[in-house]
Amino acid sequence: MVDWVRLELDVDRFDDAEFSLYLRRAEASGARFTTLAELGDTPLHLRALYDLNKTCSADIPDRGPFYTYDEYVAQRIDVPSFDPGGIVLAIHDGTWIGMSATSLHPEPRYAFSEMTGVLAPYRGRGLSLALKLLAIRFVRASGYRRLVAFHHPRNASAIAMNRRLGFTDRAAGD
């Protein structure tokens, strides 16, 4: 059985100013940030989101086979916790290069970081920090305070990314 690393961030205590530097840097290097709400959750855009999520998820340890497109829509899109404003995207020269997807759960009240992923050639440049900054702003603007993430214990980069943002260990059973 996998002993998941369960992390949580109090978004009211998040240092927005520190991480906005990564957003400015990414924009200066040609990346553009938007959301699925801004682009429109059309079938074409949902397919592009699926493709990006699937590609990035291939690097999650022990992830196993990814959803089919229909399964993805049923599990991640056609659910009450889905909000297209919570799908943050990074685009470079027309290519979707990164995403951070956050769902909202009103009872008990928490936001969940479903997936943050950056295409391999664009990694190691602070792009995930810029994406998550925008995801955290979405959580705050939606009136939520707790942002939760679960990671496979061998997913060192994702765990380090979230710790860098101020995520801390969540008590077991919480």
Q: Which spans of this chain sit near ligand COA (rule: CB under 6 A)?
A: 56, 59-60, 115-118, 123-129, 155-158, 160-161, 164
Closer residue to ligand COA, CB minimum distance, 40 or 79: 79
Q: How far is the CB of 117 from ligand COA (least distance, A)?
A: 4
Q: How far is the CB of 92 from ligand COA (least distance, A)?
A: 12
Residue 3 half-sphere exposure toward CB, CA atoms < 13 A: 3
For the chain, how many helices (H) and strands (E)? 6, 7
Please report how the helices 127-141 and 16-28 are oriented relative to each other, as an axis angle in degrees rounded to 10.
130
What one-character DSSP code corresponds to residue 85? G
Closer residue to ligand COA, CB minimum distance, 40 or 148: 148
* Burial profile 4-15: b = 16 or more Cβ within 10 angstroms, e = fewer: ebbbbbebeebe
Q: How far is the CB of 151 from ligand COA (least distance, A)?
A: 6
With beta carbons less than 8 A apart as the criterion, state whether 114 and 102 touch.
Answer: yes
Closer residue to ligand COA, CB minimum distance, 35 or 128: 128
AA letter at 53:
N
Closer residue to ligand COA, CB minimum distance, 40 or 156: 156
Q: How far is the CB of 153 from ligand COA (least distance, A)?
A: 12
